[in-house]
Amino acid sequence: MIDLLQELSEAVHIALKGRKMEDLSSQIAMGADGTPTQEIDKIAENAILECLEKHGNPLNVLSEEAGIIDNGAENTLVIDPVDGTFNALVGIPFYSVSLAVGKQSLSDVQFGLIRDLVHGAVYIAEKGKGAYMDGQRLKTKDYDPGKTVFLVYLGESASPMSFEIASKARRTRNYGAASLELAMVASGVADLYMVDAEPMIRLVDLAAGVLLLREAGGEIYNTDGDVLDMKFGPRERSNFIAVGDKKVLEGIV
């Protein structure tokens, strides 16, 4: 399965390689999740679907653009063809393709792959077998209150709690691609990643990154403090707090 996910991510890389991003910014449709589909998203999604078809469509598909495609399979491929579309189109070098395989919800995702489409790093996770970046085992960092790095969304729709949490970190950043920011927590680069805003983050943005984080030793919660689970669906969204070390939560209360 990991080999298939690698091939799908490579298909996206090839489809976008050498293209001028400013030429891919046209809004061409509304996605199944109710948000606009840019040309770059559709090109990336088509590359994945065409590659999957070559393999006989062994998985159902859940994608932000196409919605649910029932291929009669037991497992479902959850796709964010380009996570960080805005970044890609305005020239911020931080966006990815995110792929996860599970049955019905975040809790049963078995495989995840995130490919940094700018720098080429590949993050892989298999449930019960750990998380890796380019073959190197990932582990979240231990909480050190004097060296905290928080990733917190602080845009116009951010909640007051977001600013409160951000102010408790030694350093606060936000980069605009959920899968890669979860990978930063999984890698021990950051202690916490939080989004508390409207609209909330989509399931397709989170599926691979959540498995990666959990396999690296971290956890993700909804803003009520419960371990996050989300059913597979094109319109499923949630706010969340992801941490590498549960002691981080004690430090921000």
Domains observed in the chain: 2-137 (3.30.540.10), 149-252 (3.40.190.80)
Q: What is the pLDDT of residue 38?
A: 76
CA distance 63 to 78: 6
CA distances to 45, 98, 131, 135 from 128, in Å:
29, 20, 9, 16
Q: What is the pLDDT of residue 202?
A: 94
Q: What is the pLDDT of residue 221?
A: 97
- Per-residue confidence in pLDDT tens, the chain, 253 aa: 999 999 999 999 999 988 777 666 666 555 666 566 778 999 999 999 999 999 999 999 999 778 899 999 999 999 999 999 999 999 999 999 999 999 999 999 999 999 999 999 999 999 999 999 999 999 999 999 999 999 999 999 999 999 999 999 999 999 999 999 999 999 999 999 999 999 899 999 999 999 999 999 999 999 999 999 999 998 899 999 999 999 999 988 7
CA distances to 57, 141, 142, 182, 226 from 177, in Å:
28, 21, 24, 9, 23
Check the CA dihedral 108-40-180-118 and report its sign. positive
Q: What is the pLDDT of residue 127?
A: 98
Count of residues in the chain: 253
Contact 106, 228 (CB under 8 A): yes
Contact 248, 142 (CB under 8 A): no
Global pTM value: 0.94
Residue 91: enclosing H or E segment and its boundaries? none
Q: What is the pLDDT of residue 253?
A: 72
CA distance 10 to 220: 28
Q: Strand, helix or coil at 211?
A: helix
Pairing relationship of beta strands 122-126 and 171-173 according to DSSP bridges: unpaired
Q: What is the pLDDT of residue 27?
A: 61
Q: What is the pLDDT of residue 199?
A: 86
